[in-house]
């Protein structure tokens, strides 16, 4: 059984079919990258899987059960997490508090619930927060205010926040966008390291082909919402349909 499976997954925005009949199966422990020209539907695919968007047709299952009608926080609780979203850090709180809040939110779903009622779970929240900070190498800076961290450490904290819910599947949408080559290399190293340490399955959307080739076991190529090629980095690179899609589109 695949960890994540989409079956005929389709999303239309009015007349535009952004994701068109996509069948995808990600096995546990695998790292797959979704690539494709601008507007191919990559971010929409991630938004469907994380339940930020409702599908128009098809199904999504995680660990064998449909998540098609789940709330976003329910998907997080089942083990799907998304990283490198700019708004995930509370700048004025410490590194450790940021990780604790992420762990607490994953456990209780949302802040609408009363924090204090769950006081007896603080031990577990602490444990998760520390484990996460350890995994991303920030345990030593746990008392620093998040806003005082250097850029690279902020990225580490963003990843840590995503990992505090103990995900099985980590989704990343262009994690190295806007990074220098050094920052990109550091991010790749960090992702590979936490993947090993925490047994993660990874779905990466990325334009930087060097990152894609470094991180992925398998690549899925989307063009105008449809999967046009799938295979190892070598197979995909030599595929004439892929070359044409990139030449015909506007590469970013």
Q: Which residues bind Mg ion (CB under 5 A)?
A: 42-43
Q: Which option in Mg ion, ligand ATP, none does residue 38 bind, with CB closer than 5 to 8 A by kind?
A: ligand ATP
- Tokens 């009363």 belong to residue: 114
DSSP state of 61: E
Comparing CB distances to ligand ATP, the nearer of 5 and 206 is 206
* Residue 24 in contact with ligand ATP, rule: CB under 6 A: no
Taking CB positions, which residue lies at the least distance from Mg ion? 43
Q: Which residues pair with 22 in a beta bridge?
A: 9
* Residue 72 in contact with ligand ATP, rule: CB under 6 A: no
Interface region with ligand ATP, contact rule CB under 6 A, candidates 21-29, 34-42, 65-73, 147-155: 34-42
* Residue 12 in contact with ligand ATP, rule: CB under 6 A: no
Q: How far is the CB of 180 from ligand ATP (least distance, A)?
A: 20
Residue whose C-alpha is closest to residue 206's, from 24, 35, 32: 35
Which H or E run contains 63? none
- For the CA atoms of 191, 124, 126, 162, the dihedral, rounded to the nearest 10 degrees, stands at 30
Q: How far is the CB of 138 from ligand ATP (least distance, A)?
A: 29
What is the size of the binding site for ligand ATP (CB under 6 A)?
12
Q: Hey, which residues between 188 and 217 contact ligand ATP (CB under 6 A)?
A: none
* Residue 38 in contact with ligand ATP, rule: CB under 6 A: yes
* Residue 36 in contact with ligand ATP, rule: CB under 6 A: yes
Which runs of consecutive H residues, i.e. helices, occur in the chain? 42-49, 72-78, 95-108, 122-135, 151-163, 181-198, 209-215, 233-237, 240-248
Phi, psi of 213 (to 5 degrees): -70, -30
- The first and second tokens of residue 34, run together, are 């979704």
Q: How far is the CB of 222 from ligand ATP (least distance, A)?
A: 7
Candidates 8, 13, 148, 210: give the one binding ligand ATP (CB under 6 A). 13
Residues 6+ apart with CB under 8 A from 89: 98, 146, 154, 157, 158, 161
Q: How far is the CB of 12 from Mg ion (least distance, A)?
A: 17
d(CA 201, CA 34): 14
Comparing CB distances to ligand ATP, the nearer of 129 and 242 is 242
Cβ atoms within 10 A of the Cβ of 227, count?
Answer: 20
Comparing CB distances to ligand ATP, the nearer of 47 and 187 is 47
Candidates 27, 28, 39, 186: give the one binding ligand ATP (CB under 6 A). 39
* Residue 6 in contact with ligand ATP, rule: CB under 6 A: no
How many helices and strands, by DSSP H and E, does the chain display? 9, 10
d(CA 171, CA 54): 17
Candidates 22, 24, 41, 95: give the one binding ligand ATP (CB under 6 A). 41
* Binding residues for ligand ATP (CB under 6 A): 13, 16, 18, 36, 38-44, 252
């Amino acid at each position: 059984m695949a960890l994540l499976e989409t079956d005929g997954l389709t999303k239309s925005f009015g007349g535009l079919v952004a994701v068109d009949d996509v069948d995808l199966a990600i096995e546990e422990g695998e790292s797959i990258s979704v690539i494709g020209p601008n507007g191919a539907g990559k971010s929409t695919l991630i938004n469907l899987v994380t339940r930020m968007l409702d599908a128009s047709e098809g199904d999504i299952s995680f660990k064998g059960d449909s998540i098609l009608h789940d709330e976003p926080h329910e998907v997080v609780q089942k083990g799907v997490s998304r990283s490198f979203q700019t708004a995930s850090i509370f700048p004025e709180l410490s590194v450790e508090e940021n990780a604790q809040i992420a762990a607490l939110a994953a456990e209780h779903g949302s802040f609408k619930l009363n924090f204090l009622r769950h006081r007896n779970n603080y031990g577990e929240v602490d444990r998760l927060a520390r484990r996460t900070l350890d995994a991303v190498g920030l345990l030593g800076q746990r008392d620093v205010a998040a806003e005082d961290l250097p850029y690279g450490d902020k990225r580490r904290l963003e990843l840590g926040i995503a990992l505090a819910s103990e995900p099985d599947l980590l989704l990343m949408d262009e994690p190295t966008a806007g990074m220098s080559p050094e920052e990109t290399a550091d991010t790749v190293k960090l992702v590979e390291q936490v993947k090993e340490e925490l047994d993660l399955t990874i779905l990466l959307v990325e334009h930087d082909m060097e990152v894609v080739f470094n991180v992925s076991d398998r690549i899925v190529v989307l063009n105008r919402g449809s999967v046009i090629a799938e295979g190892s980095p070598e197979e995909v690179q030599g595929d004439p349909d892929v070359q044409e899609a990139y030449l015909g589109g506007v590469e970013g």
